[in-house]
Amino acid sequence: MIIGRDLTRIYGMGAVQVRALNGVSVKIQKGEFVGIMGPSGSGKSTLLHMFGLLDRPTSGSILIDGSDVGTLDERARTQFRLRRLGYVFQDYALVPELTAKENVYLPSMTRGMTAQECTLACSDILTLVGLGDRIHHLPGQMSGGEQQRVAIARALVNRPTLLLADEPCANLDSQNSRIILDLFQRLNRDLHQTIVMVSHEEWHKRYFDRIISMKDGVIEKEERRSEGGKPAPSP
């Protein structure tokens, strides 16, 4: 369970201050698929960075599975990101000199898994994202959709507590977007993967269990979709 309490993030401590987050309290239950939506500049990415331990709040606290991540030093935060979090970026952000498999391999190797364990985990996860046959391609030889799936595999390989994705479909056409969203849904339903995803596409809404709408650095409203009433995604 992830709890954010009274989070603020103020940019520019001088005369002109931007309150990117202005008192956000939020709880994300284990196994939830949460969408964060809202207009541009409303603070969606800023909030996700807090969860992803990529930035520190100006005030407020974040608890992930009971540990107050604000108290960790840089090295411990890096370790936390490695072992507990998976982050998917808008522009895939793969290492260009590594093949799909090696990109996925990297976090598990860093974690100290043996070569055998890594290989096994990699092929499992790449099969899961539907790239079993392209594992030896370099990012430059893959489509955007494929690269994003590699990035998702990389985020998942260490079995993170929380998968974070900041507009993962922004660079993809609707067909590829759907592949990604279907994949997220599958991960969420079958593996009970907790996912927090930022989006501003209306049609993504139907994938989320809960939608947090932000505006001007605060949560404007929250919609919960009941399990039964959730409309199935249309192909």
Partner 1 sequence: MFEESKVAFFLAKRSIVRGNKGTLSLTILIIGMVFVNLIFLPSIITGVAVLFNQQSIDYSYGNLVIEPKKNQVYINSVSELQKKLERIPGITGVSTRYVTSATIVYKGNVVTPALYAIKPGDEQSVLKIGTKVSSGSYLADGDTGHIVLGYRLAGNEDEKLDVISSLGGVDVGKVVDVTFNNGVTRQYRIKGIVTSNSYSVDSNAFITKKEYEDVFGLEDRANQILVRTRETGKENEMRNTLLSYGFQEKIWTWQEKSANFLNQIIGSFNIINLIGTAVSLVIAIVVIFIVIFINTVYRRKQIGILKAIGIDRSIIIKSYLFQALFIFAIGTIMGCAFLLMILQLLAANPIVFPGGPVAPVVDPALILRSTMSLLVVSLIAGYVPAWITTREDILTAIRG
Ligand X SMILES: Nc1ncnc2c1ncn2[C@@H]1O[C@H](COP(=O)(O)OP(=O)(O)OP(=O)(O)O)[C@@H](O)[C@H]1O
Residues of this chain that bind partner 1 (CB under 8 A): 49, 52, 54-55, 75, 78-83, 85-87, 89, 93, 95-98, 102, 106-107, 109-110, 112, 138, 154-155, 158
Mode of pairing for the β-strands spanning 194-198 and 162-166? parallel
- Beta strand extents in 149-209 (DSSP E only): 162-166, 194-198
Smallest separation (angstroms) from ligand X to the CB of 180: 17
Told to check if 18 binds ligand X by CB under 6 A, we report yes
CA distance 197 to 213: 12
Out of 46, 103, 177, 193, which residue is the one contacting ligand X (CB under 6 A)?
46
Contact region with ligand X (CB under 6 A), list: 40-48, 126-134, 203-211, 222-230: 40-48
Tokens, residue 128: 């899961």
- Sheet of 85-88: strand order equals 85-88, 162-166, 194-198, 33-37, 210-215, 218-224
- Closer to ligand X by CB, 42 or 99: give it: 42
State the residue for tokens 């002109």: 16
How many other C-beta atoms are found inside a 10 Å radius of the C-beta of residue 169?
Answer: 24
- Does 11 bind ligand X (CB under 6 A)? Our answer is yes
In whole angstroms, how close is the CB of 36 to partner 1 at the nearest point? 17
What span, in angstroms and rounded, lies between the C-alpha atoms of 88 and 10? 24
Compare residues 18 and 76 and give the one whose CB is closer to ligand X: 18
43 binds ligand X (CB under 6 A): yes
Strand partners, 28: 2
Instruction: Determine the interface stretch with ligand X among 11-19, 72-80, 135-143, 152-160 (rule: CB under 6 A).
Output: 11-19
- Sole binder of ligand X in the list 2, 28, 42, 183 (CB under 6 A): 42
CB 99 within 8 A of CB 114: no
Q: Which is nearer to Mg ion, 45 or 177 (CB)?
A: 45
Please give the Cα distance from 12 to 174 (Å, whole number): 37
Measured from the CB atom, is 31 or 41 closer to ligand X? 41
Stretch that binds ligand X, among 42-50, 107-115, 180-188, 223-231 (CB under 6 A): 42-50
Of the candidate residues 2, 26, 37, 45, the single one contacting Mg ion (CB under 5 A):
45
End-to-end alpha carbon distance in the chain: 32
Strand order in the sheet with 18-28: 18-28, 2-11, 59-64, 67-68
Contact call for residue 203 and ligand X (CB under 6 A): no
> Is residue 20 involved in binding ligand X (CB under 6 A)?
yes
Q: Is 185 in the site for ligand X (CB under 6 A)?
A: no
Q: What is the binding site for ligand X (CB under 6 A)? A: 11-12, 18, 20, 38, 40-46, 200
